Amino acid sequence: DGLAIDSEKMSYNTNKRRVVRTLGSDRLVYLFIKKQRIVSKCCQCKGEAVRNQASVHVCMCRCLKTVIRTFGGVICHRERIIRAFLIDEQKVVKVLKALQLGKPVRKPPKLQKTPAKTASKSK
């Protein structure tokens, strides 16, 4: 057979390898293949990757994988834009229905900015 094996390297069956003939001495050796990483997908459309290379994404800690934002790092850009547009459209329809029925439209109160306090120094 004449197959050279690195015995200390990757003994589990899930680690894939293939047989390759070396250039100089025509020996048969194993070429170890890296595992395929699972790419993060959009949770709604199950389509393209959300972001990051899969192999890098696995090594990152959880705080770097997620974004502190509504559906941050979960929904693809297209879905996020459509979602925001539909929410705005719902607000407009709600106002138009209220105007048709003759009900007064209530606007949310605006927040007033308070002046910043100045620190007084006493000596």
Given this model, what pLDDT does residue 83 score? Answer: 86
Residue 71 CB partners (closer than 8 Å, separation 6+): 43, 80, 83
Domain map of the chain by residue range?
1-35, 38-101
Given this model, what pLDDT does residue 89 score? Answer: 94
Higher pLDDT, 11 or 7: 11
Confidence of residue 111 (pLDDT cuts 50, 70, 90): low
Token digits of residue 8: 């200390």
Nearest one of 25, 60, 20, 68 to 40, comparing CA atoms? 60
Nearest one of 14, 25, 19 to 3, comparing CA atoms? 19
Quick: pLDDT tens for 45-61: 777 665 656 667 777 78
Given this model, what pLDDT does residue 43 score? Answer: 73
Indicate the pTM of the whole model: 0.40
Higher pLDDT, 81 or 113: 81
What is the residue-averaged pLDDT of the chain?
75
Quick: pLDDT tens for 54-103: 667 777 787 777 767 666 667 777 778 888 899 999 999 998 998 888 87
Residue 54 CB partners (closer than 8 Å, separation 6+): 36, 37, 38, 39, 40
